[in-house]
């Protein structure tokens, strides 16, 4: 039917005694088995272990859970015989919970995220496409840009392509403008295009908050 890739998403909540090791192991196995089945069928698997933003956890707690989850996932990918050079990883960024008072800069998020990834993601993986996970459109762009910015490259240099696979951070502004009304369609389409342009720039390390004033 023309499909070239497929995705399996596992969501990992943070909280008291969460995530459990049983939860991590079960989800890591499911992600890896699905990836192996995709490759058997000639599809590129997108492996998506997502540590959720809901809650008041700190960025350090998110980093610990993300690293633990990714270690388990890649151990299972090896067991299942997945060709790492023929898959895409779609993880969360390392962020504090939405209810946390902690508000790190984009540079801090970039540094913490790439530090975790460098510890556990093999260089054979060709690309990492981040999910937005509840971030605003502007924050998602700014944080991705910080990972790709030449200015920050000394601290966050990565062996993989770092890009985006955002849904809410691209679609939500347009959906809010559209509100189901045909009259709002052109403005909503411009908003959608604007977010796509901003994220293309962030992928290249060329995004600037000044771009947000240029939407028409």
The answer to whether residue 90 is catalytic is: yes
The CA distance from 52 to 49, in Å, is 9
The CA distance from 115 to 67, in Å, is 10
What are 51's strand-pairing partners? 12
- Which residues are within 8 A (CB) of 168 and not within 5 positions of it... i.e. 6 or more apart? 132, 133, 134
Catalytic residue among 16, 85, 90, 102: 90
Measure CA 133 to chain center: 7
Neighbours of 179 (CB within 10 A): 9
Catalytic residue among 7, 16, 40, 48: 48
The answer to whether residue 108 is catalytic is: no
Neighbours of 85 (CB within 10 A): 10
How far apart are the two ends of the chain, measured CA to CA in Å?
38
Give catalytic residues, as residue numbers. 48, 90
């Amino acid at each position: 039917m023309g499909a070239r890739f497929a995705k399996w998403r596992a969501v990992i909540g943070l909280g008291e005694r969460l995530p459990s090791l049983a939860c991590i192991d079960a989800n890591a196995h499911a992600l890896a088995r699905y990836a192996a089945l995709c490759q058997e069928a000639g599809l590129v698997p997108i492996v998506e272990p997502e540590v959720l933003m809901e809650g008041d956890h700190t960025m350090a707690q998110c980093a610990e859970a993300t690293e633990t989850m990714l270690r388990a996932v890649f151990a299972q990918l090896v067991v299942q015989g997945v060709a790492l050079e023929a898959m895409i990883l779609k993880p969360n960024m390392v962020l504090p919970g939405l209810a946390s008072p902690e508000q790190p800069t984009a540079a801090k998020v970039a540094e913490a995220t790439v530090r975790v990834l460098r510890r556990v993601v093999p260089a054979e993986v060709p690309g990492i496409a981040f999910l937005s996970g509840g971030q605003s459109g502007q924050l998602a762009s700014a944080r991705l840009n910080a990972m790709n910015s030449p200015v920050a490259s000394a601290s966050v240099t990565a062996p993989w392509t770092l890009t985006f696979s955002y849904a809410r951070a691209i679609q939500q502004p347009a959906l809010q403008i559209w509100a189901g009304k045909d009259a709002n369609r052109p403005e909503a389409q411009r908003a959608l295009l604007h977010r796509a342009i901003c994220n293309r720039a962030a992928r290249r390390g060329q995004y600037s908050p000044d771009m947000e004033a240029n939407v028409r």
